[in-house]
Amino acid sequence: MTIDAFIDALPKVELHVHLIGSASVPTVLELARRHPGSGVPTDEEELRRFYTFTDFPHFARVYGAVNALVREPEDIATLVLGLARDLASQGGRYAELQVTPYAHRVVGLPMRAVTEALDLAARRSLTEHGVEMAYIFDIPGEYGEEAAKVTLEHALQEPPAALVGFGIGGIEQERPKYRDAYRAAFTAARAAGLHSVPHGGEMSGPETIWEVVEHYGAERIGHGINCLDDPRLVAHLRETGIPLDVCPTSNLCTGQIGRIEDHPLPRLLAEGLFVTLNSDDPPMFATTLADEYRVAARVFGLGRQDLAELARNGVRASYLAEERKQALLAEIDALTATA
């Protein structure tokens, strides 16, 4: 079995992927043509150029423009089902999809309509594509107290059946302005039984990771790559086993690293940290979950056993039911034994 065939066959879970960012080019074209005048190109070649990012703020602007295309419940369901279809073609079995309720509120979508669309899409993802879908509601960190309030309200009052977590993303440098509101939102979400899965240490330093660990009760951290700047933090993450959801191609495309060869994935693994491999916003970054495994193999020299262990980490770090975890781990073991 070639390494590519092994990667394709490897059962995978996706723990860090965003609803809007998961939209494939055909899906975005469909939405752009459905909602003309949005500023998002309706020509495929122009759309691909539109997705060529210069830095994170540029990415955020593009992301916002695509987000504005999601105006009806049917648009939300289309995105979820598109992701399920794409993951199924790559050996994906489960995803924890990050949804931003605030973005849907500002375009006028009622909470109940959003939740019904997410519930419907989760059911169809499993029956039509064999992909189990769970959701994480995240606060867009640059939008402050109102965004925190809307996200928490939706999570507590009208949650989809598959809601498992509460997070925060966006531009990390904006968060200190709203520190108290964000801490309070995470406290309330955790009290309601939601898992804490914030972004941290993607575009800012270790101080953001300490903040989410000490004040958000982070159980898993999105990105976390800049933990390496603080040996004490590295030791803490290693001792506690808090997983880092790492997305190499994303970090390259948003300018967090200069070359893919510079990505700290090998150092994170060498430090004994709990790492999962993810795609973040795959079509926007011209990648897939399977491609992230190919990067790990071709750029960093990881072999079959290493790749299988990353896949196992994803399963272990997920919020799947325990019996589903064990079944997936057994599948990974069986493949690895015969590869």
Active site residues: 202
CB 23 within 8 A of CB 283: yes
Q: Is the alpha carbon torsion for 119, 120, 124, 127 positive or negative? A: positive
Q: Which residues contact 58 (CB under 8 A, 6 or more apart)?
A: none
Helices and strands per DSSP (H, E), number in the chain: 16, 9
CA-based max dimension of the chain: 53
182 vs 33, 168, 202, 300, CA distance in Å? 37, 9, 18, 36
Closest CA to 285 of 13, 32, 21, 18: 21
Alpha-carbon distance 172 to 193, whole Å? 25
Q: How many CB atoms lie within 10 A of CB 37?
A: 6
CB 274 within 8 A of CB 265: no
R_g of the chain computed on alpha carbons: 19
The torsion angles phi and psi of 200, rounded to 5 degrees, stand at -175, 140
